Chain A
Amino acid sequence: DAGVTQSPTHLIKTRGQHVTLRCSPISGHKSVSWYQQVLGQGPQFIFQYYEKEERGRGNFPDRFSARQFPNYSSELNVNALLLGDSALYLCASSLVQGARYEQYFGPGTRLTVT
């Protein structure tokens, strides 16, 4: 079975632009989480979706938004990009939302803002 997939792998954008990152969870997984990993730091929680509903949001500005589709795939959108948004964006899926269920991570999307 395929693992969590993310697209694109790499992305270069200019300040002020908008970006959309995509994530496809493992087949059958209904929960998707997004994390931002700045170079040299641990991942920071951005959003969690379960059954197409937002279940949690981290300490990120409103420029960050996300959604989950009926097939459980997800998009992360970032508006008005800043240099500080440069990071590795990780998507994780789990069968069900909950601490008992392992979160499986994708390979990430490397976003560079110039």
Chain B
Amino acid sequence: AQTVTQSQPEMSVQEAETVTLSCTYDTSENNYYLFWYKQPPSRQMILVIRQEAYKQQNATENRFSVNFQKAAKSFSLKISDSQLGDTAMYFCAFMKPAGPLTGTASKLTFGTGTRLQVTL
């Protein structure tokens, strides 16, 4: 079974600064997908960024980028130019390749989350 570990329960960053959230995972799979989700107080889970394990290039989405270290099974999220609206819980998640042909569920396995507070 896959496990996802987020070792930072809470973090704080000042507006406009950069912060890095850590995530490690354990799997015997070679092909998989990794995600960072954001959950603001409104509770709606929003996809921030995704990374396919077969891609060596780190994914980026505007101010968000990842550092994917496959051998170390590490998947950290860097938020640049932090904004007040970035305040939220951030969850790292893992998914095995799945689909109608495999007959298996494309389920997300989440970590316990990191609460990020952006301050003035």
Whether A42 lies near B105 (C-beta < 8 A) is no
- What CA separation (Å) do A96 and B101 show in the bound complex? 11
- What CA separation (Å) do A103 and B99 show in the bound complex? 13
- What CA separation (Å) do A100 and B33 show in the bound complex? 9
Q: A25 an interface residue at 8 Å Cβ cutoff? A: no
Please tell me the number of chain B residues within 8 Å of chain A, measured between CB atoms. Answer: 30
Whether B108 lies near A100 (C-beta < 8 A) is no
- What CA separation (Å) do A50 and B105 show in the bound complex? 9
Whether B104 lies near A56 (C-beta < 8 A) is yes
- What CA separation (Å) do A53 and B110 show in the bound complex? 24
Contact digits for A70-96, partner B, Cβ 8 Å, 1 yes 0 no:
000000000000000000101010101
Residue in B4, B46, B99 whose beta carbon sits within 8 Å of that of A98 in the complex: B99
Main SS of chain B's interface residues? loop
- What CA separation (Å) do A45 and B94 show in the bound complex? 12
Whether A107 lies near B43 (C-beta < 8 A) is yes
- What CA separation (Å) do A108 and B104 show in the bound complex? 24
Whether B43 lies near A88 (C-beta < 8 A) is yes
Given A41-B112, A42-B91, are A97 and B107 neighbors across the interface (CB < 8 Å)?
no
Whether A42 lies near B110 (C-beta < 8 A) is yes
Q: A55 an interface residue at 8 Å Cβ cutoff? A: yes
Q: B78 an interface residue at 8 Å Cβ cutoff? A: no
Whether B99 lies near A96 (C-beta < 8 A) is yes
- What CA separation (Å) do A35 and B91 show in the bound complex? 14
Q: B44 an interface residue at 8 Å Cβ cutoff? A: yes
- What CA separation (Å) do A45 and B110 show in the bound complex? 9
Residue in A35, A44, A100 whose beta carbon sits within 8 Å of that of B99 in the complex: A100
On chain B, the residues within 8 Å of A94 by CB distance are 106
Given A50-B100, A97-B98, A98-B98, are A45 and B107 neighbors across the interface (CB < 8 Å)?
yes
Whether A45 lies near B99 (C-beta < 8 A) is no
Whether A97 lies near B47 (C-beta < 8 A) is no
B103 and chain A: residue at smallest CB distance: A55
In the assembled complex, 9 residue pairs joining A and B whose CB atoms fall closer than 8 Å, in A order, are A44-B110, A45-B108, A45-B109, A57-B105, A58-B107, A97-B105, A100-B99, A102-B50, A107-B42
